[in-house]
Chains A and B, each alone.
Chain A
Amino acid sequence: MKQFTTFVKKEFYHIFRDKRTMMILLGIPVIQIILFGFAITTEVKNSRIAVYDPSKDEATRTIIERLDNSRYFDVAVYMDHPSETDNIFKDGSISMAVIFSEGFMENLMHTGHAQVLLLTDATEANTATAITNYATAIIGDYQQELLLLQKIPFRIIPEIKLLYNPQMKGAYNFVPGVLGMILMLICALMTSIAIVREKETGTMEVLLVSPMKPIFIILAKAVPYFLISCINLTTVLVLSVFVLDVPVAGSLWWLILVSLLFIFVSLSLGLLISTVTNTQLAAMLVAGMMFILPVVLLSGMMFPVENMPDVLQWLSNIVPAKWYIIMMKSLMIKGAGISSVLREVIILTIMAVFIIALSLKNFKNRLE
């Protein structure tokens, strides 16, 4: 036991001496939460739009005013001719052009319908969809009001609902994802690098010749990263509750327990990586490409898994973070009980057992 504590102490020295890395490890959750919470948002706010309004009547003016007053749009340019749109888009500062037909109000009153063209810059596909939806909704609202006011039978306009709930905070979705990524980063990446570093410098050989049991060497490596993961878990939870106003709706204890299970899976992944690589660079590539990238792409953190091709959906099942994120969404945001995520708990447990068994087998083979 004394051997073990001596060794754990040494691992802490390694981490504390490398101040820069330690700052990064502890700072990552703060930066990620702030980035995802405030900078990278899927909501559209204050998009600059250009307007061409040849009729300049009551209807068009009201619509423009409403667009401008909404939190989604700022009317930035009034065009003199619809052909200007091309140049304006090429400037890149405008994300939508609203072009009214001539005699808009007149047409609306007499023929029952009038046309307005919404042009968006679809190079940003998501933004384009979002802002056309907002704009159609605003115009739709106005038409509904006209209907009520004038009591004139207009052509029935299909009611358009906002596909995006403007109140929906992006934060709800990304907090579990960020947690999954950070824990994977620290446990899998850092642990594997720490073990492989000893192989690279040659100290591993000396340790293996010593009476220290190899399994203790590995365990001792995992201890500091386990602690850092716990600190990061706390940071993320505290930040999301107090800064992003994302409540922990479910049981905090189950949340922590489930996170510990995921930390365990990630640590064993780190061990597995360290048994198949011999250089820190290789470990970093394997961890980054095979484990961290899939967390971002396949776990449902950024892109919904349901919309992916079958092959990718199937592939996403072997990404541990996917199951963790599902559990966290249920426990943290939906406030569900542990019974509703039992399936995910079992899957992660099986993964943990399997990975540990595989890496211990690999590790023993390496020693021979």
Chain B
Amino acid sequence: MKVIEVKNLVKRFGSFTAVDHISFDVEKGEIFGFLGANGAGKTTAMRMLCGLSKPTSGNGMVAGIDITRNPEQVKKNIGYMSQKFSLYNDLKVWENIRLFAGIYGMDDHEITLKTDELLHRLNFSGERETLVKSLPLGWKQKLAFSVSIFHHPKIVFLDEPTGGVDPVTRRQFWELIYEAAASGITVFVTTHYMDEAEYCDRVSIMVDGRIDALDSPGNLKSHFGAADMDGVFHQLARKATRKAD
């Protein structure tokens, strides 16, 4: 089953074409890596998929909903975590969970049950009443991710979720992503770290607003004759004419 279907999606700002006819599909439960240099159009594409920005032309279906006609409906079915830390520092751990669960319309009883379960699973039970600002960065990221999939969305969009986190924590973070994918949540992730690209089921690489490559990391490496994803990325990025912003 396809949870994201994109056909010829275009976004223009004036005469500048930020996203230039991109087309791709993402399967349910897949971990889809969305790569590209700064300014390649990743963020713009992702904003359209999240219902934040209207496409200039083309079609996009996210969780079976048309992103042009029904962006508000899209928002109910997705989770989102940004590169900037997306929890409230001056709220306690459980207050953050409750706030976001409430925003997604979960009822109190369900929230209470799932909060206990989540804190237990993350080994956070002792930190329930802790203000988020006093948690270490790695913990915060894990909590932020858990909060973004707390309402069990069909798809979670992760915008460079591991920025500034050490490799060990990054590894732990990816274990959470695998768990989420195994539970049926599709993961759509952008990243700067090429080692993370290797963890994805499939990877697309954007250059100058177009998708220049889309395949599994293994296939991409053999196709481009590169030893790792870093090599693939550089071969493609070299062709870019657009300056990073």
Residues of A within 8 A of B (CB): 2-3, 6-7, 10, 13-14, 17-18, 201-203, 205-212, 367-368
Q: Does B229 contact A (CB under 8 A)?
A: no
Question: Quick check: B103 and A202 within 8 Å, CB to CB?
Answer: no
Assess A212 versus B50: contact at CB under 8 Å? Given A13-B95, A202-B84. Answer: no
CB<8 Å pairs between A and B, sample of 29:
A2-B102, A6-B102, A6-B103, A10-B88, A10-B99, A13-B90, A14-B88, A14-B90, A17-B91, A201-B84, A201-B89, A202-B83, A202-B86, A205-B86, A206-B82, A206-B86, A209-B50, A209-B78, A209-B80, A210-B80, A210-B100, A210-B103, A211-B75, A211-B103, A211-B104, A211-B105, A212-B103, A367-B52, A368-B53
Contact, CB under 8 Å: B87 / A203: yes
Known: A206-B81, A209-B78, A211-B76. A3 touches B102 (CB 8 A): yes
Q: How far is the CB of A195 from chain B (nearest CB, A)?
A: 14
Task: Tally the A-B contacts, defined by beta carbons under 8 Å.
Answer: 71
Question: What's the nearest-Cβ distance from chain B to residue A49, in Å?
Answer: 57
Residues from chain B with a CB closer than 8 A to the CB of A2 are 102, 105
Question: Do residues A13 and B86 form an inter-chain contact, with CB atoms below 8 A?
Answer: no
Q: Which residues of the partner chain B approach A6 to less than 8 Å between Cβ atoms?
A: 98-99, 102-103
Chain B residues with CB under 8 A of A201 = 84-85, 89
Q: Indicate whether A205 sits within 8 Å of B84 (C-beta atoms), given known contacts A13-B95, A210-B75, A211-B75.
A: yes
Q: Is the CB of B72 within 8 A of A13?
A: no
Q: Given the complex of chains A and B, what is the CA–CA distance between A3 and B102 in angstroms?
A: 6
Q: Is the CB of A203 within 8 A of B95?
A: no
A206 to B151 alpha-carbon distance, docked (Å)? 14
In chain B, residues 52-82, which have Cβ atoms closer than 8 Å to a Cβ of chain A?
52-54, 72, 75-76, 78, 80-82
Instruction: State A211–B157 Cα separation when bound (angstroms).
Output: 15
User: Do the beta carbons of B95 and A206 come within 8 Å of each other?
Assistant: no
Known: A13-B90, A13-B95, A209-B75. A202 touches B102 (CB 8 A): no
B86 A203 Cβ-Cβ under 8 A: yes
Given A209-B78, A210-B104, A211-B105, A17:B90 Cβ within 8 A: yes
* Contact of A3 with B52 in the complex, beta carbons under 8 Å: no
With a cutoff of 8 Å between Cβ atoms, the chain B residues found around residue A208 in the complex are 52
Q: Compute how far the CA of A13 lies from the CA of B105 in the bound complex, rounded to whole angstroms.
A: 20
Closest Cβ of chain A to B103, distance in Å, is: 5
Tell me the complex Cα distance, A106–B112, Å.
Answer: 98
Residues of B within 8 A of A210 (CB): 75, 80, 100, 103-104
Given A10-B95, A205-B82, the answer on whether A18 and B90 have CB atoms closer than 8 Å is: yes
Contact, CB under 8 Å: B99 / A7: yes
In the complex, which residues 94-115 of chain B have their Cβ closer than 8 Å to any Cβ of chain A? 95, 98-100, 102-105
User: Within 8 Å CB of B84, what residues of A?
Assistant: 201-202, 205
Chain B residues with CB under 8 Å of A10's CB are 88, 91, 95, 99
B40-54 near A? 1/0 per residue, CB < 8 Å: 000000000011111
Check B95 against A368 for contact (C-beta < 8 Å).
no
6 nearest CB pairs, A to B: A202-B84, A6-B102, A209-B80, A206-B86, A211-B75, A17-B90
Neighbouring A residues of B78 by C-beta, 8 Å: 209
CB neighbours of A14 from chain B (8 A)? 88, 90-91
* Chain A contacts for B81, CB-based, 8 A: 206
Whole-angstrom distance between the alpha carbons of A208 and B103 in the complex? 11
Bound CA span A10–B89, Å: 12
